[in-house]
């Protein structure tokens, strides 16, 4: 069974630009969550999508957005990039069907550097 | 609100010695608890989880964790550390009564096993 796939692995962008990151979950998983990981803040929850609907949202500005497609693949977009957006962005997939005890499976992440 | 504390940023242990990585949590109800490990430039890998029942949970790579409700703790343990266990460890919690709210992670503990 293929794992969670995130593309691209590395990105370098300039301040003010926008970026789109992609995540393909494990087959059969309907929930996709996005996290931002930085050395100082640890793992910060961005948002979660389930069956193409945003089900949960973290405390990030509106520049951060996402969507999920009918095949459960998800994208997140960051507009008007700031230097502070430099981070490892992690995607996690899970069954998401209401069983809160099911674990999430993470992709390898996309390392975004804003210069 | 749910929260997780990992009181040690760094744990150093000699190879062959037992290791403990500490985690305490706060939820309004009963918890689901998880441990993940992250190797350099990789995503998080699931190690083990506590749902209910036996307070001692066994997971991957010889790790185990003990759930202690009175102390609201879920410490990760291994009887004999390996150099290859050196990595970043994350504890996470979800309130059992909160349905599909996101996992809340601690800030992580860096484990260094010295040969």
Tell me which residues of chain B have a C-beta less than 8 Å from any C-beta of chain A: 32, 34, 36, 41-46, 49, 51, 90, 94-96, 98-108
Mean pLDDT of B46-65: 94
Q: Kindly list the residues from chain B whose CB atom is less than 8 angstroms away from the CB atom of residue A108.
A: 41-43
Asked if B17 and B28 count as a contact pair (C-beta separation under 8 A), the reply is no
C-alpha torsion A15→A90→B30→A40, nearest 10: -50
A97, A95, B55, B74 alpha-carbon torsion, rounded to 10°: -110
**Which regions in chain A score pLDDT beneath 50?**
none
Distance from CA of A97 to the nearest CA of B (A): 8
Contact residues on chain B for A35, CB-CB shorter than 8 A = 105
| Contact residues on chain B for A104, CB-CB shorter than 8 A | 46, 103
Tell me the pLDDT tens digit for each residue of B73-113. 999 999 999 999 999 999 999 888 777 788 899 999 999 99
In this complex, do B51 and A42 lie within 8 Å of one another by their Cβ atoms? no
Place of tokens 């291994």: B78
Residues B108 and B8 sit within 8 Å (Cβ to Cβ): no
For A36-65, the pLDDT digits (tens) are 999 878 899 999 999 999 999 999 999 999
Return the pLDDT at B95.
85
Rounded-to-integer distance, Cα A45 and Cα B104, Å: 8
- From B109, which residue of chain A is nearest by alpha-carbon distance? A42
Nearest C-alpha of chain A: how many angstroms from B109? 10
A48, A50, A101: residue with CB nearest B51: A101
Share of chain B above pLDDT 90, in %: 79
Distance of CA B69 to the CA centre of its chain: 15
CA B85 to each of CA A17, A44, A87, A100, B73: distance values in angstroms, whole numbers, following the listed order: 39, 24, 24, 28, 22
């Amino acid at each position: 069974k293929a794992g969670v796939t995130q593309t691209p692995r590395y990105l370098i962008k300039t301040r003010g630009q926008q970026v789109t990151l992609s995540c393909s979950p494990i087959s059969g998983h309907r929930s996709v969550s996005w996290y931002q990981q930085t050395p100082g803040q640890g793992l910060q929850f961005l948002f979660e999508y389930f069956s193409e609907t945003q089900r949960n949202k973290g405390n990030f500005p509106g520049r951060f957005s996402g969507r999920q497609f009918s095949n459960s693949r998800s994208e997140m977009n960051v507009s008007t990039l700031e230097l502070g957006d430099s981070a490892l962005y992690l995607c996690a997939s899970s069954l998401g069907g209401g069983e809160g005890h099911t674990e999430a499976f993470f992709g390898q992440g996309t390392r975004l550097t804003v210069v | 609100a749910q929260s997780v504390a990992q009181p040690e940023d760094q744990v150093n242990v000699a190879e062959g010695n037992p290791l403990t990585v500490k985690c305490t949590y706060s939820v309004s109800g009963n918890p689901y608890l998880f441990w993940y490990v992250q190797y350099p430039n990789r995503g998080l890998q699931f190690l083990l989880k506590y749902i209910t029942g036996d307070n001692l949970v066994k997971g991957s790579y010889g790790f185990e964790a003990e759930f202690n409700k009175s102390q609201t703790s879920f410490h990760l343990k291994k009887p004999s550390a390996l150099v290859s266990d050196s990595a970043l460890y994350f504890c996470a919690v979800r309130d059992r009564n909160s349905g599909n709210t996101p996992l809340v992670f601690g800030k992580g503990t860096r484990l260094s096993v010295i040969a």
